């Protein structure tokens, strides 16, 4: 699936999709499987995990009987109690100082100030608690940076000068003003982006498996763990 990146400006936020052509998610440095895959999980039922037969079982609800042994799933052990699996997606309109990923289309100009389309995103927080004071300057930094001739619409190039370039350049601009070490694309994506795309990929795969069979069984610990 061929997709173009877009960038969106909102108070305290850099919203961006970072898409590499002709690759699958999450192996791409930044990108996604298409909006269909993300809506598949977000618009569906919550995922539930419970233990029975010494295995982890995932479903959309807790059944009366174990799908493996047909026995009662009721347990007095707290470690076997059902738990809800967190949805890895978030509403980008409510995120602050965050790098967002979603499959989309657009260019710098058309999508930079969109008011819709970011309701389902993967969020990478950019400001740690120790730097919350930066939020007061975030909008001013972003407004100044976005006026550079480098980001005029006609300079957009899907592979080498896209919204991923804009976002990383802006992040490094802020880091430089704060006297901090800048990041290259590989370091940023490997540390912050890939863990979240892998999480989303696992969540979507798990959701689809449950939808196809009614449940999913795993011998290992919870495969969907939110990155720190």
Nearest one of 191, 156, 190, 166 to 28, comparing CA atoms: 190
pLDDT: which is higher, 76 or 62: 62
Is the per-residue pLDDT at 215 higher than 80?
yes
In 3-60, alpha helices (H): 35-42
Is the per-residue pLDDT at 3 higher than 50?
no
Averaged pLDDT for residues 147-154? 85
> What gap in Å lies between CA 13 and CA 28, rounded to an integer?
23
The answer to whether 65 and 74 have CB atoms below 8 angstroms apart is no
- The per-residue pLDDT for range 158-201, each reduced to its tens digit, is 778 887 788 888 888 888 877 888 888 888 888 888 898 888 88
> What gap in Å lies between CA 215 and CA 228, rounded to an integer?
28
> What gap in Å lies between CA 132 and CA 130, rounded to an integer?
6
Q: In terms of pTM, does the model score above 0.85?
A: no
pLDDT: which is higher, 84 or 78: 84
Q: Mark 62-83 as b/e (b = at least 16 C-beta within 10 Å).
A: ebeebbeeeeebeeeeeeeeee
pLDDT: which is higher, 26 or 170: 170
Residues 8/87/189/92 CA torsion (nearest 10 deg): 10
- Say what angle helices 163-177 and 135-146 make with each other, to 10 degrees: 130
Say what the pLDDT of residue 117 is. Answer: 64
Say what the pLDDT of residue 216 is. Answer: 93
Averaged pLDDT for residues 88-108? 71
- The upper half-sphere exposure of residue 98, i.e. CA atoms within 13 Å in the direction of its Cβ, equals 17
- The per-residue pLDDT for range 104-118, each reduced to its tens digit, is 553 333 444 455 567
The answer to whether 6 and 106 have CB atoms below 8 angstroms apart is yes
Q: Where are the beta strands (DSSP E) in 66-168?
A: 83-85, 98-101, 122-125
Averaged pLDDT for residues 69-94? 81
């Amino acid at each position: 699936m061929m997709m173009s990146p877009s960038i969106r400006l909102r108070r305290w936020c850099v919203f961006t999709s970072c898409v590499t052509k002709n690759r699958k998610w999450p192996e791409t440095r930044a990108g996604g499987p298409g909006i269909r895959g993300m809506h598949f999980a977000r618009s569906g039922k919550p995922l539930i995990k419970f233990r029975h037969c010494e295995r982890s079982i995932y479903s959309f609800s807790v059944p009366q009987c174990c799908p493996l042994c047909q026995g009662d799933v009721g347990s007095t052990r707290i470690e076997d109690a059902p738990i809800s699996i967190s949805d890895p997606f978030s509403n980008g309109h409510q995120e602050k100082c965050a790098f967002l990923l979603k499959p989309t289309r657009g260019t710098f100009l058309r999508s930079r100030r969109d008011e819709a389309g970011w309701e389902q995103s993967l969020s990478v927080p950019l400001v740690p608690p120790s730097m919350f004071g930066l939020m007061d300057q975030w909008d001013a930094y972003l407004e100044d940076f976005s006026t550079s001739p480098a980001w005029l619409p006609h300079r957009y190039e899907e592979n080498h000068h896209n919204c991923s370039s804009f976002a990383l350049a802006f992040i490094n601009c802020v880091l430089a003003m704060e006297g901090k070490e800048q990041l290259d694309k590989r370091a940023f994506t490997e540390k912050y982006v890939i863990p979240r795309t892998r999480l989303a990929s696992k969540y979507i795969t798990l959701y689809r498996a449950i939808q196809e069979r009614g449940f999913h069984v795993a011998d290992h610990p919870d495969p969907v763990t939110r990155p720190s």
